Structure 1
Amino acid sequence: NLAESINACMAYIDNPEIDVEGLMKYIPAPDFPTGGTIYGYNGVKEAYETGRGRVVIRSKAEIEVEDNHENIIVTEIPYGVNKAELIAYIAQLVNDKKLDGIADINDESNYKGMRIVIKLKSDANASVVLNKLYKMTQMQASFSVNNVALVNGRPKTLNLKELIGEFVKHRHEVVIRRTQFELNKAQERAHILEGLIIASQNIDEVIKIIRAASDTQGAREALKERFGLTDPQTAAIVEMRLRQLTGLEQDKLRNEYEALEKEIARLELILSDEHTCRELIKSELMEVRDKYGDARRTDIDYTAGDFNAEDFYADDDMIITISHLGYIKRTQLSEFRAQNRGGVGAKGSDTRNEDFIEHIYPASMHNYMLFFTQKGRCYWLKVYEIPEGAKNSKGRAIQNMLNIESDDSVKAFICTKSLGDADFVRTHNLVFATKKGVIKKTRLEAYSRPRARGVNAIIIREDDELLSVEMTDGNSEILLANRNGRAIRFPENKVREMGRMSTGVRGMTLDGDDDEVVGMICMPEGTTNDVMVLSERGYGKRTPLDTEITNADGVTEKVPVYRVTNRGGKGVRTMNITEKTGRLVAIESVNDDNDLVIINKSGITLRIHVADIRVQGRATQGVRIINLEKRNDTIASVCCVDSDPEEEVEQVEAQELAPELPEDELLEVEEIDEEVIDDDADAESEAADDTEE
C-alpha cells in the first residue's frame, strides 16, 4: 500500500535503527487491489523478516439467510483470479459431484461492486461448504514473496528493513544528483547575470567598444580585457538585445540575480547538511502520499493461525516400507502383530508382479526424513508427507514425491527431529557405507538444508552403490558385514571427517568380485545391544559385542567378541555360512526391547520379539527365524523396531504353520571354533589406499 509504504520510509528516515518489527507497524501486510483477507500472519512475518515467504489470501465471503435458506455471498476474490473462470470451476465441481451442498450460483455483480451468490441446499452446512470452497477452488490463493533486488549491481534477497533502506538510499542519491544538477545550472545563470549587470552599469562604454570592434570575436576580446569578464559573459553581452537596456529590464536582472543567490544557498545547504536533505526527501514522499495514497483494501485475519501440519498428526510410531520398484507408504506399527519364532508370517503387501518389499524402516510421524539413493543423492521429507496405507496396500511411487531419476532408488534414510538445532547438527555425523566396502563420515550439518531437487550426499563410483547410512555422535563403533558371513569392527574416529562432495575411504576388504557388504551398524559408546545377523534362508542369531570374563584373580574383564581393528581389514566370522543357511543378508543392532520385522521377496511379513532369540557365539550357525522351506523363498529385508508391551501377541506355533521338522532344524545352536579371518587387519588397513576424491 502506497500510503503505508511512505509512512514506513519516513519512520526509517527519522530512525535508521528501527527494526523490522517496528516497520511492520506501518506496513502490516501486503495490500492487493482486489481486496480479500490475508489468512494468518506467520507467512507475512516470515516474508518481512527474511525476504522470502508465502501469503495466503482468501475471498471475502459472508453467510446470509434468505427464506430459511443459507447463501454464501462473495464480495471480494484474491488478486489475479478471474471471476468468470472461478464461477465456471465451482459449477464444474458441483456437476462432477466433487462438491456437495450447492444448489445454484449466480453472478449479481454491478457498478457498485462484486457480488457472487452461492445458493445452498436446505440440508447443507454453510460453514462446511465455504471451507471446501476455500480448499478446492481459487477462493483461497497463496502468493510467494521473493524480495530479490539489484544492490550495487548484484542480486540480493532483502527483508523489509533492507528494502526500505535501499529505497531511501536511492531517493537520497536522486535528490543529491538532482540538487547538484540544479546548483550547477543556477551558478551558470548567476555567472551570466553578473556579466549582464556589469554591462548594464557601463552601457555607454560597452556600446562604444562593440561599435569600434571589427567583428564579434574582436568585441568579445575587448570586453573581456576591459571589464575582466569570462567567455560566457562576453558572449551573453554581445548577444544582448536592445530592450534589455531599459531600466525595467535592468531591475529584472538584479531581481533574478538575488533570487538565484538565495536558490544557490538553499541547494548548497541541501548538499552540505544531511538533516536538510532528509527533510526534503520526507516532504517529497509526503506530497506523493497525499496526492496518490489510498486506504488499505485487504484485511488481515491475525487470529487465523497458519496451517501447521504437525498439529493434525499425532506423533505415532510408523513403519515405512519401500518396494523394489520404488513404491513407498507409511503404516501404523500396531498393524504388524508379533508372532513366535519359527512362524511363517502374514501377508504384508500386495505389490505388482515381480515387485517385492525391499526396505522397511521405523519412524514417527513428526520425524524429518533424509532419503539417500543408491547413486548418492539426498532428499528431504516429513513422515506425515508420506502417504498412509494398510499393511497390504501398494503405496505410492517415490518418483511422484521426490525428484528422483528414473534409474535411481532409495537405499537409506535418517530420521531426526533436530535438523533446525545448530548444536545438534554440528555434533552429529552421517556415516555412509557402500556395497564395495567404502565408508565415509560427514557432519549432519551438511545435509540439514536439502533442496527440492536433492543434493549430492556422496560421490559413488561407477561399479558401486550406496548401501546404508547411519547417524552417530562421533564416539560410536562401526561394524560392517559381508555376504560371506564376515564382519569388521573399528572405531568411528578411524574414519576422518570429509565434505559432502567426496567418495570416502576403504572400510572393509571384500573376498572377491561376487562378495559385497550387506549392512552396517553403528554401536554407541557404552551400548548393551547385541549384534543380530540373518541369512537369506531364514536363519539368524544374536551375539554380544563384548563379553565379561573373570580371570584367576577374580577380576572381571570385558573381552571383545568382535575384535576391534583398524578400518580396511577383512574382519572375523560373524555367522557360520552353510548351504542350509544361505549367505548373509542383514546385520542389525538389537536388544530385548526390540522386535524384528522381516519381509521376504514374496511379500510375507513376520514380526518376532528379539528376546525370543537366544544369544549365541559369534561363529555359530544360529536358529531358524522364519520358515521358508515350504515356500522356497528368501528374505528380502529386515528391520529392527521397538516392542509394544501392550500389543496383543498373536500366538502362532511353528508346528501349526510348517511341516514337521527335526529338532536340529528348529534350533541349530552347537558352537564351532571361531575362525579369525584376518589376523593382520590392523597392518593391512594402514596400507590401504584412501579412495577419497
Structure 2
Amino acid sequence: MDRIIPINIEDEMRNAYIDYSMSVIVARALPDVRDGLKPVHRRVLYGMYELGLSHNKAYKKSARIVGEVLGKYHPHGDSSVYDAMVRMAQSWSLRYPLVEGQGNFGSVDGDAPAAMRYTEARLVKVAEELIKELNKDTVDFQTNFDGSLQEPIVLPAKLPNLLLNGSSGIAVGMATNMAPHNLGETLDAIIAYIDNNEITISEIMEHMIAPDFPTGGIIYGYSGVKEAFETGRGRIILRGKATIEVTGNNKEQIIVTEIPYQVNKASMIERTAQLINDKKIEGIADIRDESDKEGMRIVYELKRDAVANVVLNNLYKQTQLQNSFSVNNVALVGGRPKILNVKELIGHFVDHRHEVLVRKTSFDLEQAKKRIHLLEGYLIALDNLDKVITLIRSSKDPEVAKQELIITFGLSEIQAKAILEMRLQRLTGLERTKVIEEHAQVKKLIEYLSEILADKMLRMQLIKEELAELKERYADARKTAIEYHSDEFTMEDMIPDTEMVIMISNQGYIKRTPLSEYRVQGRGGIGAKGVSTKKDDFSEHLFIATTHQYLLIFTEYGKIYWLKVYNIPETKKATQGKAIQNLINIAPGDQVRSIIQVRDLKNADYVDNHYVMMCTRQGVIKKTPLRAYATPRANGIHAIVIREGDCLLDVQLTSGSNYIVLALESGRAIHFNEQDVRPMGRVSSGVRGITLVHEQDRVIGMASFPTPDWDLLVVSEHGYGKRSSIDDYRITKRGGKGIKTIHITEKTGKLVAIHAVKDQDELMITNQSGVTIRIEVGELPIIGRTTQGVRIIRLGPDDKIASVAKIDVLDQEAKSEDDAVINKASQEENVLEEGEEIYNN
C-alpha cells in the first residue's frame, strides 16, 4: 500500500494527453522547418545513406532498407517505414523525388505498390544534397531508441526541401499541408532574400511565383496563392489541363493531359461516368483512359450537338478535374509548431544553412590546424634528419624514443608519434618538397577558413554561390501553369502596361497578342495569318487594349461582365485562344457582342464623367452613367433590357457631349448629338436612335466623336472602305432614317463597320478565313460620303470582312526592307483592272 500514490485523475489525464500530443507533434506528424523532413523520412534517408545507396550505386531490396531503419532508428511498424519510402519515390507525390525506385511503386490511379520484398531502391542525387556534410559536425546527433547508436536530429540540407516538396500530416489539435514549389524559382527567391533581408513578400513573389505541383495542372486564380504566401494559409484552386480537339469525322473531344495534385485518376473517371449516367453531366458520349508510359491522356468524346466549352465547364464544376489545395504551413521551429509565411520559411532555411556553414568551416579549420601541426613536426624531423635517426636508433623502445623527440626538439606528443610512424619513403627529397608544398597550402586554407568565420558577408556570399550552383545543376521548368482570373489579386506591379491585340472568335475563343507582332502593311496588302481557328469559326471581335485596362464585356442578351486584360491568356497570333466561358460566367446560348476598355473603375472623377452608350440591331440607343457598371461582379449584371426580337450590338464609352453616328448595313447613317439622349438607369431598354429603312435592314455599328474635327471610316464586307469628313453628315435629331454614307453595290457588298478616325490611327482588319492586315488610316483618301471607296484588303472569292478594329496610338515600329518589298508587291498585285472606277458616284 505504501507504493500506491493517490493522484487527481483529471491532472493525470491532462498531463498524459499533453505528453502524447507533443510526442505525435514533434516525433511523428510535423516536419522540421530546417530540412523539411519528418523523423521517419529523415531516418529512411539516413539509413539508405549508411547502407551506401547513393545514386550511382546498385539498388538494394526495399525489405533490406526497411529492416535497417526499423532495427536501428525507427521502432514502429514496417508498413509505416515502407509507405514513407514509397511516397518519396513517387513522381506524382513529390515534386523532386528523394528515392529512386525499381519495381512497382504504385500509380496515380491509386494502385498499391508491390510488397517490399519485390521492390528495390536507392537515393536520388537530389537527396544526397540533403545528407552531404553529415560527417563534418554540421548538425547535432542524438542516441537512438535503445541508446546503442547515434542518429542526426536534422540533416544539413543544402536544398530547401520543405519548400520544394512540401509536406502533409495530421497531429493532435493541428495539421500541416504545405505545397511544393519550383526549385529554380525558390532558389532565386532565397538569393534575393540573402541580398535584402527586408525584402517584402510581394518582391519574393517576383521570383517565386506560385506553388509548382508534380502533376502539373493549372492554378486557377491567384488570390489563394497570395494569401498563402503572406499568411501561411490559403486555398488554391487547381484545374486539370484540358484541350478541345476535332476528330476526322468532325466530332469534338476534350483531352485531359494533366490532373490536379493528389487526385486519383481512376476515381475521377469513375465519378464522371456516374454523373453522366445520372444525367448530371450531359453531352459526353464516351470516356477513355488512353494514358501510357508516354504520359496521361483522358479522352471525353462529345456528342455532336454538345458545346465543348459548356461540357468542360461542367466537368470543372462537378468533378475533381477542378480541385482545391488548402495550404497550412505548420512546421517545427526550435521544436515548437508554428504557422509560417513564405518569407519566414526562407529565413529559417537561410539561418540553418548559415549555422551549417559555420559548423562545417569550424570543423574544417580544426582539421586543418591538426594537419599543419603534423606537417610542422615532419618539417622539424626532416630538417634534423640525422639527429632524429640517431636518437631513434639509440632508444630502447618507441616510448623512450617518443619522449626523447619531445625533449630534444620541443615537439608535441602527437608530432613525436607521427614522426615515429613515418615511412622511410618520406625521407626522400621529393617527399620533403611535397611536405613543404602541403604546408603552404594548408596554411592558406587556415587563413581562408578563418576569414570565413570572421566575415558574415562572406559566409552569405558562399551560401549564394552554393545555391546558384545547385540551381544550375537541378533547376527545371515549371509544371503547373497559372491562370489569373480574379480581381481579388492584380498582377499590375509585375506586368508591364503594354498594348495588346484582343481577338474573340465567332464561336467564343479569346486571346491577347502583343501589338508588335502585327507589322504595318500598305493599303491593298494581302495581310498575314492572324489566328488559327476551327472550321466554320472566324475572328468576330478585334480591338486594342493595354494590359492593365478593364474590359467591360457586353453580350447579346444585354448582360455585362468584367475582365482585366492581363487575365486573358497571352498567345502567339496564329493560335486559337481560350474559350471565353473559362474566363467569365457567360450563360449558355449567349455570346459577346461588344467590348469597351476603361482605364480605372476606382477613380471617382473618371467614373463620374463617363457614360456607356449602347445600341441594338433594331436601332434602339441607351446612355447610362459608367458609375452604374463600376462594381465588378463574378456572374455579371444586366446592362440593358433587350426587347423581343432584338439584341445588343455595339457599346461606346463617351464623355456625355460626344457626337454619335449610327450606320445601317444598307449604307445609311444618322448623325446626332449625344445630349439628345437622356441618361437612363441600368434596368431600362432605351429610346429610338435610327429608323430602319426596311424590315431586313439592321444596324451594323456606332461611332462616337468627342469633337467635330474627326473623320468617319466605313468598310464594306467585300473589302472596300473610305473615310469622309464628319462635316459631310449634317446633325439631325435622333430617330430619323439617316443619309447615304457609302454607295452599296454588288461589288462592295453590305456595310459591315464604321469608326471615328484620325490620320495617325491604324486599322486591324480580319476576314472570316482568319487573315489579318494592319494598315495606316492616313493611306486612305478622304472622299465624299456617297462614293464607293477603295479596296483595303484583297479577299478570296468566298471570303468576307469579319471585323475592323481601330488602333488609337501610332505604333513606332520600323518596317524592314523585306516588309517594304512585300508590301510594294502586294500593292501592285491589287491595282484595279483598267477601266474599273475607284470613286463611283
Quickly name the TM-score band, shorter chain normalised: 0.5 to 0.7
Selected match of 1:545 from 723, 726, 732: 726
Going from structure 1 to structure 2, the CA distance change for 1:59 and 1:510 (only over 3 Å counts) comes to farther
Distance 1:631 1:488 in 2: 32
1:562 aligns with 2:729: yes
> 1:625 is matched by which residue type in structure 2?
I
> 3-state DSSP class of the match of 2:492?
helix
State which of 802, 814, 819 in structure 2 corresponds to 1:636.
802
- Determine the C-alpha separation between the residues in 2 that align with 1:299 and 1:564: 67
Correspondence list, 1:275-424, <5 A? 298=339, 308-424=490-606
The corresponding residue for 1:581 is 748
CA distance in structure 2 between the aligned counterparts of 1:117 and 1:456, rounded to whole angstroms: 42
Structure 2: tracts of 5 or more residues without a match? 1-23, 50-79, 99-123, 128-164, 191-207, 215-224, 236-335, 346-487
CA–CA separation in structure 1 for the residues paired with 2:540 and 2:799:
14
Which AA in structure 2 matches 1:613?
L
Which of 469, 475, 480 aligns to 2:657? It is 475
- Describe the superposition over 1:655-687 as per-residue Cα deviations: whole angstroms up to 9, x where unpaired: 57747641554x6125x3xxxxxxxxxxxxxxx
Distance in 1 (CA, whole Å) between partners of 2:338 and 2:518 is 55
Question: Does the 8 Å CA contact 2:660/2:703 hold for their aligned counterparts?
Answer: yes
SS of 1:471 mapped into structure 2:
strand
RMSD: 4.2
CA distance in 2 between counterparts of 1:108 and 1:119 reads 14
Equivalent residue number for residue 669 of structure 1: 839
Contact 1:627–1:658 (8 Å) recurs in 2: no
Which residue, out of 42, 62, 65, partners 2:34?
Answer: 62
Q: Is the 2:95–2:180 Cα contact (8 Å) retained in structure 1?
A: no
Cα deviation for residue 622 of structure 1 reads 0.7
For the pair 1:99 / 2:99, whether they are aligned, the reply is no
Contact map agreement 2:602 2:630 (CA 8 A) in 1: yes
Post-superposition CA distance 1:300-327 (Å, at most 9, x none)? 78999x9641122100000100000000
Q: Mark the CA change 1:622 to 1:115 in structure 2 (over 3 Å): closer, same or farther.
A: closer
Note closer, same or farther for the CA distance 1:492–1:125 as it changes in structure 2 (3 Å cut): closer
Paired residues for 1:477-556 under 5 Å: 477-524=659-706, 526-546=707-727
CA distance in 2 between partners of 1:118 and 1:437 (Å)? 55
Cα pair 1:425 1:445 within 8 Å, conserved: yes
* SS of residue paired to 1:481: strand
Shift of the 500–669 alpha-carbon distance from structure 1 to 2, 3 Å rule, reads: same
Shift of 1:647: 3.5
Tell me, yes or no, if the aligned pair for 1:334 and 1:647 is still in contact at 8 Å.
Answer: no
What is the aligned length? 432
Tell me if structure 2 keeps the 8 A contact 1:597–1:606.
yes
Q: Distance in 1 between matches of 2:734 and 2:712?
A: 18
Q: Which residue of 2 aligns with 1:606?
A: 773
Shift in Å at residue 538 of structure 1? 0.6
In the alignment, the residues of structure 2 paired with residue 326 and residue 95 of structure 1 have an alpha-carbon distance, to the nearest angstrom, of 37
| Greater relative CO, 1 or 2 (CA 8 Å, sep 6+) | 1
Q: Deviations over 1:550-592 (max 9, x none)?
A: xxxxxxxxxxx10100100011111111111111000011111
Deviation, 1:59, is 9.8
Specify the code of the residue in structure 1 equivalent to 2:784: G
**Does the residue aligned with 1:341 lie in a helix, a strand or coil?**
coil
| 3-state secondary structure, aligned to 1:611 | helix
The corresponding residue for 1:590 is 757
For 1:355, the aligned partner's letter is D
Mark the CA change 1:655 to 1:465 in structure 2 (over 3 Å): closer, same or farther.
same
Corresponding position of 2:406: none
Look up the equivalent residue of 1:634 and give its one-letter code.
K
Aligned 1:182-201 pairs, distance under 5 A: none
Q: How much does 1:618 deviate?
A: 1.1
Contact 1:63 1:126 in 2 (8 A): no
CA deviations 1:415-438 (Å, max 9, x no partner) are 112200122212210000111100
TM-score normalised to structure 1 length: 0.56
Aligned equivalents of 1:444, 1:310: Cα separation in 2: 23
Deviation beyond 3 Å, 4+ runs, structure 1: 58-69, 90-94, 100-121, 123-144, 295-304, 654-661
Please state whether the residue corresponding to 1:424 is helix, strand or coil: helix
Displacement after TM superposition at 1:513 (Å):
1.5
Structure with bigger gyration radius: 1
Q: Which residue of 2 aligns with 1:623?
A: 790
Q: Cα gap change, 1:541/1:299 in structure 2, threshold over 3 Å: closer, same or farther?
A: same
Distance 2:179 2:725 in 1: 70
Asked if 1:429 corresponds to 2:611, the answer is yes
Uncovered stretches (5+) of structure 1, i.e. residues with no partner: 1-33, 36-57, 70-83, 145-294, 547-560, 673-693
| Residue identity matched to 1:669 | Y
Deviation at 1:450, TM superposition (A): 2.7
* Cα deviation digits, residues 343-386 of structure 1 (max 9, x gap): 12111111111101111011000001111001100001100001
Please identify which structure carries the higher strand content. 1
Offset at residue 128 of structure 1 (A): 6.5
State the alpha-carbon separation in 2 of the partners of residues 657 and 98 from structure 1.
62
Specify whether residues 598 and 97 from structure 1 end up closer, same or farther in structure 2 by C-alpha distance, changes over 3 A only: farther
Match of 1:221 in 2: none
For 1:322 and 1:638, how far apart are their aligned partners in 2? 12
Distance 1:631 1:522 in 2: 33
Kept after mapping to 2: 8 A contact 1:101/1:120: no
Aligned AA (2:794): N
Tell me, yes or no, if the aligned pair for 1:322 and 1:328 is still in contact at 8 Å. Answer: yes
Q: Which moved more, 1:570-579 or 1:645-654?
A: 645-654
Contact 1:108 1:117 in 2 (8 A): no
Q: CA deviation at 1:493?
A: 0.8
User: 1:132 offset after TM fit, Å?
Assistant: 7.9
Q: Residues 424, 91 of structure 1: CA spacing in aligned structure 2 closer, same or farther, 3 A cutoff?
A: farther
Amino-acid identity (%): 41
- Deviation, 1:99, is 2.9
Q: Deviations over 1:72-127 (max 9, x none)?
A: xxxxxxxxxxxx9xx99x95996149834755779899899989999999x98864
User: What secondary structure is seen at the aligned counterpart in 2 of 1:95?
Assistant: coil
| 1:448 aligned partner, one-letter code | A
SS state at 1:311 partner: coil
Structure 2 CA distance for partners of 1:535 and 1:311, relative to 1, 3 Å: same
- The 3 A distance-change label for structure 1 pair 582 and 396 is same
The two structures have a TM-score, normalised by structure 2, of 0.46
